Amino acid sequence: MHIHKFEKIWLIFGVTTLLVFLSVIGVSAFYLGNQPPSCLATINPEKVDTTAPFDKPGLNKVEGKEWDYELVYVASAFNYTPGEVEVPLGAKVKVLATTKDVVHGFNVAGTNINMMLEPGYISEYVTTFDKAGEYLIVCNEYCGAGHHMMSSMIKVVE
Amino acid sequence: MNSFVEKIKKVDSRDAKLGMAHFYVAFIGLFIGGMAGLLQTLVRSGQFTLPAGIGYYQLLTLHGVVLALVMTTYFIMGFQLVSVSRTAGTLTNKQRNTGWVGFWLMTIGTVMAAVMILLNEASVLYTFYAPLQAHALFYVGLTLVIVGSWVSGSAIIMAYVAWRRKNPGQPSPLLTFMSLVNTLMWIVATIGVATTVLFQLLPWSLGLVERVDVAISRTLFWYFGHPLVYFWLLPAYMAWYVIVPKIIGGKIFSDSLARLSFILFLLFSIPVGFHHQLMEPGIDPAWKFLQVVLTFMVIIPSLMTAFSLFATFETFGRSKGATGLFGWLKKLPWGDARFLIPFIGMLSFIPGGAGGIINASNQMNQVIHNTIWVTGHFHLTVATAVILTFFGISYWLIPHLTGRTLTKAMNKLAILQGVLWAIGMTFMSGAMHFAGLLGAPRRSAYSEYGGAAQAAEWVPYQIAQAVGGSILFIAIILVLYIFINLAFFAPKGEEEFPVGEAANTTEKAPMILENWKLWLGLVVLLIAFAYTIPFIDLIENAPIGSKGYKLW
Amino acid sequence: MAQPGLEKKTSTKVEDQSSLKGTLASVFLLGFFLIITWVGVFLLFVNRF
């Protein structure tokens, strides 16, 4: 099989570029801790309201952990609990969420907090809320007739 | 081999009839799905409400099922059957009858699924994620579509095997080879969706079992869902590699490299489904990253394809006396719709591919996951690169099969159609990409989200989407007008089925490329490597299953 | 032994006939486009919380 010299140059350049991309995201994910949300913990979706920490939705201060607060959400068709929350600027927060019924999305618009909520699983993401402002949470996975009405609000305040 | 191909220039009329049956369904699907798409963009602009109690999500389900599953599958099956007939010889009666059985199975299934959607019994979108539960007949219909496509695919496999037996030691005709690769990939991929539908969703929707494992169902769906997009893309690549060179009067840059890139697609398009599930719980991040690496492997054959296509164009232009770095561009037949429409498709695959690399980049997916950026992305890939190429194919294939010709007037109209598509899609897909980066969700009706400031920022982009969608719908009307003309009214005559020849006819493709035991063996190994342990994890750590919900 | 000689001849023929400067330039433009868009979204990822 004959390969033209220029095609070899192009493929070496292309493959090197792809390797650089993979190295950058690989180092960022595995050494700097920027993994996509991949929580392995499970929960009984029919007993969410009585299972910790989902029995206390909202912003809860925690001690002795790597993060200062836990921000807990319960999703069900077609709303999130809590519907609005204030987070102090600069707080390191673990966001935890789960669903009581069907699959929902959980995207804090304009941020990297973007995760799927699946019945039986807990989704979590740790981040530092370092920019003040009002952030809309939208459900971005179709969940039924009221899907586009399903939202919540995070206010990051000084 | 070449002299053999030259002898049979015309597709046999019985095979042509089988092909046309597929194209009628495909273009009816285009009309219905396109209409739904137009209405969706209008709703999302906030200026329009749906009449007669039609639900937005019912319409969205129709749009996705009819275009992504039905229209594409029919067009591809029809195109591959007549390509095999053209290049490997007229189908035997047995092969053709098998093709017809496949066609009718798919059609019965399509009607069943469509009726359930219209009755609002299946507003679950084309991805039908559990635990939203559609009517059992919706799942039965989809199963029949897939089983029908397997039957049609077996006609292609039979024709390939017969050709190889008649021509021992010879590489198969390129279009036949490519049709076979795509068919094999489709069969291996659809096993995933067939498994979740038959063993999970169907018994559950019939009430035979109470609960369904959501994570396993989604994983089986996405095992199918990514090769699905390559099943759409490879027939477009068939046209780019083999047919477009002949249309412009040039040669295929390299027959062997074209085959090699198809083999790479066969190997790497399946064990990559996790890049659609990067934001999901229950899957270990190391396994996600492994499939991200495999996803990047499938970019390589597309890099090869880009080079081959530019090289075909440049070689042709220089043979016509072009000089300078880009002088060859001027020599290309810009006034020929059979070239121009697929060419616009090729161009759109550049931003489409760039977006795809971003989407697959592990944690970077957090920026765009399930935002309308993703919708913008696949409207560049499947709804422009692939579909414009399919239109470009239709403009010579339909008259070839019906014994008519593409007139100058129709050619002009076809060019207008392609240009309108490019303009409309630039508006719609461009606006979707930018709105998505701001966080606007996909698959959502118009909403002000309680007056949130961020949601208000998305509205101008949504209006741009409606403008683009309206232009695209005009283009669809033109396509349908041309299709009807070419099928029933164009003047009788001979329209060529262009099949390119390799630039270097002395270089025989290595026979190892036709060693299916080797390639299918590797496919199985790669799938086992990428999926075995994550599946065991999902099963061992499974939470209690979900009951069905009907929330629409 | 005749086989390798034959292959060599064909490959020189192909290289001589075609100048693919424009192709090389085109694919590199494409490559730079891929890099620019990817880096753009990567920066967005890095700058957001």
DSSP string, B389-455: HHHHHHHHHHHHHHTB---HHHHHHHHHHHHHHHHHHHHHHHHHHHHHHTTPBSS-----GGG-HHH
Report A:96-115 residues touching B (Cβ under 8 A).
101-103, 105, 107-115
Report pLDDT for B476: 97
Report pLDDT for B51: 86
Q: Is B226 a catalytic site residue?
A: yes
User: Radius of gyration (Cα) for chain A, nearest Å?
Assistant: 20
C46 in any annotated domain: yes
C13 in any annotated domain: no
Residues of C in contact with A130 (CB under 8 A): 49
Q: Identify whether the C-beta of residue B105 lies closer than 8 Å to the C-beta of residue B23.
A: no
C17 in any annotated domain: no
Asked whether the ipTM of the predicted complex exceeds the cut of 0.95, the reply is yes
Residue C3 has pLDDT above 60, yes or no: no
Rounded distance between C-alpha atoms, residue C5 and residue B542, angstroms: 62
What CATH number labels B2-540? Answer: 1.20.210.10
Q: Is B338 a catalytic site residue?
A: no
Antiparallel, parallel or unpaired: β A69-76 and A79-81: antiparallel
Report pLDDT for B506: 81
- Chain A residue with minimum CA distance to C26: A10
Instruction: Provide the shortest C-alpha distance from residue C18 to chain A (in Å).
Output: 10
Q: Which CATH architecture has domain A45-157?
A: Sandwich (2.60)
Q: Among residues B63, B96, B275, B442, which one is catalytic? A: B442
How many helical (H) and strand (E) elements, i.e. helices and strands, does chain A have?
1, 10
C10 in any annotated domain: no
Report pLDDT for C8: 42
C23 pLDDT tier (thresholds 50, 70, 90): very high
Report pLDDT for C10: 44
Among candidates A2, A11, A110 on the partner chain, residue whose Cβ is nearest the Cβ of B438: A110
Instruction: Provide the shortest C-alpha distance from residue A2 to chain C (in Å).
Output: 7
Report pLDDT for C25: 96
Antiparallel, parallel or unpaired: β A84-88 and A151-157: parallel
Report pLDDT for C18: 58
pLDDT for B271-292, tens place per residue? 999 999 999 999 999 999 999 9
Report pLDDT for B52: 79
For chain A (158 residues), the mean pLDDT of every run of 10, in chain order, is: 90 97 97 94 95 95 95 96 96 97 97 97 96 96 96 96
Whether residues C31 and A127 touch (CB distance < 8 A) is answered with no
How many other CB atoms are found less than 10 A from the CB of residue A58? Answer: 15
Among candidates C18, C30, C38 on the partner chain, residue whose Cβ is nearest the Cβ of B318: C18
Q: Identify whether the C-beta of residue B234 lies closer than 8 Å to the C-beta of residue B178.
A: yes
Range of the structural domain that residue C45 is part of: 25-49
C4 pLDDT tier (thresholds 50, 70, 90): very low
Helix (H, G, I), strand (E, B) or coil at A106: strand
Burial, B193: exposed, middle or buried (Cβ in 10 Å; 0-12, 13-18, 19+)?
buried
The stretch C39-49 carries a mean pLDDT of: 96
C20 in any annotated domain: no
Stretches where chain B sits below pLDDT 50 are: 1-8
Residue C14 has pLDDT above 50, yes or no: no
Q: Identify whether the C-beta of residue B200 lies closer than 8 Å to the C-beta of residue B217.
A: yes
C7 has a chain A CB within 8 A of its CB: yes
